[in-house]
Amino acid sequence: MATQSGEVESVEAAKYAALQVEIEECKAEPGTTLDMLHAVQRQFGYLEPRAVGMVADALGITKAQLYGVATFYTMFFFEPKPPVIARVCVNLSCHLRGAQDILHTLEAAATADRSGFEVEEVMCLGLCEQAPALLVNEVAVGQVSAAEALERVQASVAACNEGG
């Protein structure tokens, strides 16, 4: 019978192996540094240090140089994140149509223990005609109440917990 730590190690090993495949594919093309960093984040949910080292080795640069590139961009995470990120637009159109209610509702729920999601304020998602709008991971949600937004986020967290 496999132990839980053995299963975790096996999952981690599979992630490194999958990343190595992506790195090899990217190496064949010039200018794919960001693609490799995205691959790390896809596999690990953030720029996991050992994986960043694999990319740095493939590029023939130091990890410090690679982090120097990554820190220029806001889309990379440097610490583990919960599986669901809710990005709430707080720009004018959304503000006028209840973004603060959504933000406060989600923040209150996110700080409840083990909520499984994190809330970020963002400035305009390009969905102004659907204000108030938010992104639940990559899924756009518009014209929702605070309660509906929370339901969407919780459904996404539940789906992640079920492996979906």
Residue ranges binding ligand FES (CB under 6 A): 89, 91-94, 124-125, 127-128, 131, 133
Return the amino acid letter for 132.
P
Considering the complex, state which of residue 28 and residue 123 has its C-beta at the smaller distance from ligand FES. Answer: 123
Instruction: For ligand FES, give the closer residue by CB, 58 or 128.
Output: 128
Pick the closer one to ligand FES by CB: 26 or 125: 125
- N-term to C-term CA, the chain: 25
**Distance separating alpha carbons of residues 70 and 45, to the nearest angstrom:** 14
Residue 140 CB, nearest approach to ligand FES (Å): 9
Amino acid at 92: L
Q: What single-letter amino acid sits at 135?
A: L
Identity of residue 154: Q
Q: Least Å distance between CB 125 and ligand FES? A: 4
Q: Give the whole-angstrom CA distance, residue 132 versus residue 63.
A: 40
Q: How far apart are CB 134 and ligand FES at their closest, in Å?
A: 9
- For the bound state, the minimum distance from the C-beta of residue 133 to ligand FES, rounded and expressed in Å, comes to 4
Q: Using the minimum distance from each CB to ligand FES, give the nearer residue, 103 or 125.
A: 125
Maximum CA extent, the chain: 57
Asked if 61 and 33 touch (Cβ cutoff 8 Å), the reply is no
